[in-house]
Every structure is written in structure tokens, then in C-alpha cells.
Amino acid sequence: MSYFQGKTVWLTGASSGIGLAMAEQLASAGAHLILTSRRAEVLEQVRQQLAHPERHQILALDLNQPEHAAAQAQAALGDQVIDILINNAGVSQRSLILDTDLKVYRQLMEIDYFAVIALTKLVLPRMVERRAGHIVTVSSVAGKVGTKLRSGYNGAKFGVIGFMDSLRAEMTSHGLVVTSILPGFINTQVAHNSLTGDGSALGHADPDNAGGISAAECAKRSLAAIAKQKAEVVVGSGVSKLAPWLQRFAPGLVRRMVANR
């Protein structure tokens, strides 16, 4: 993937799952990485295991507080050139609307929506000035198709796809590339870390994600799409990959399917 050779890539959610797999593949492709997640000690462990660890830096941020995180990032990065921003950090949900506290909806929006906007706006002026840069956000098939137990997650992911569509429309004239990645079911810890109705973590897998493609395969396909500068790509297999297509051409069928799951 020569597209990434020598480029500085800021990657959020880099300590596990799809983000960790992306970090490993990007480092092997010759990128210079800025690795972000909440815990500095975990990021340092990740950095040390990557190819050419001396090329990479860590930047621990709590994206549950987007404004504060952006201010911290600005102070740490200064005028450093960012070639590619990959907004990958996120949290999912497993709870019924009737059982979900409002604070949980706010937390989902802070991490999955507002943090994307905050970090994007941080790097955007310099990219526009240089007329070069690539903004990537890992959204979800859940940003196209609403399902049970994910109302807040669906809302945030629908919202972030709309934001990215607007960003793409506005940035085309500035020479920037904007890519939305929509994973389907991926075999990661996403279900374990999903928020329940009171905000606590679910703590166990669910059959949907457990039966999905690996994080490494998802990262490989996602990075290939980024390198090709695609606007939007669905990554997955089976029903989760077909769902956005079915939503567009057979919405009634999709409504029946999700109601009966």
C-alpha cells in the first residue's frame, strides 16, 4: 500500500479491534502513526510492537469529552502536518429504548459523533491551506439501517455519515479526500464494550459480531479503499454487507427483517 508510505496518519481507537489491526498494517506500509485511545500505557505497548516503533507517537485522549480532547491534541501536535486522519474510535450499544437512560444517548453521541467533528475541525484548516489531506471516518452499516438494541448507536452513526457527506461536498473544491468506512459484523470486542441501558458495559459477545469477519480482514479492506480514495465503502460479509443495498432497494423487506430479529 504505497499510498501510506511516509505519510503521517492520526488514528483514533488504535489500541484494540479494527484500530489495532489498522495500526499494524499502516506501520508495515511505512506510515508514521499518531496513535490515540484513552490509556497511554496501552498505546505505548501497541507502539512498541509495531514495525519501526521509533517512527510513531502516542497521544492519549478521552473522546468522551470532545472539546477537551481537541484542545489537548492541539497543544500536543501544534503545527505538525497530518496527512490522513482516521476517526476510528467508537462505542456501541445493546439496550432497548425503554430501558436506556438519556445520559447513555449523550455518551454515544459524544464519542461516535461529536468527537469526529472536533478532531476533523482541528486538522481541517491546515489541510485546506495545503490543499492536501484525507479525512476518514469508520462509521457502520448501522449508519444506514436502524435495528433493535442500537437506537443511540444508530442515531450517532446515521449522523456521522451525514456529516461526512457534507464534508465531502464542501472539501472537493479544496482538493481534500473524504472517505466513510461502513463495517458490518466484525469479530472484535465491540459487543463486550457496548453500553447497556444504565451505561455499564455489556461484558460479553453477541452472535452477530462473533460470526463476522476478522478485524485484520476489515482493516485490510478498509485501508485498500482509503488508498483508492473511495468516497464510501461497506466492509463485511453476508447480511450485514447486503443491508445498505437492501435498505435502498427493498426498504419494506428490511423493516420486516429487523422487526423480526
Residues classed as catalytic: 153
Which amino acid type is present at position 50?
L
How far is C-alpha 212 from the geometric centre of its chain's CA atoms? Answer: 17
Phi, psi dihedral angles at 259 (to 5 degrees): -70, -30
Reduced 3-state DSSP string for 34-102: EEECCCHHHHHHHHHHCCCHHHCEECCCCCCCHHHHHHHHHHHHCCCCCCEEEECCCCCECECHHHCCH
Cα distance between residue 60 and residue 69, in whole Å: 9
Residues 30 and 24: beta-carbon distance below 8 Å: no
Partnered with residue 137 across adjacent β-strands are: 87, 180
Query: Where does residue 147 fall: left (phi above 0), alpha (psi -120 to 50 degrees), or beta otherwise?
Result: beta
SS3 label, residue 121: helix
Phi, psi values for residue 177, rounded to 5°: -110, 140
CB 71 within 8 A of CB 60: no
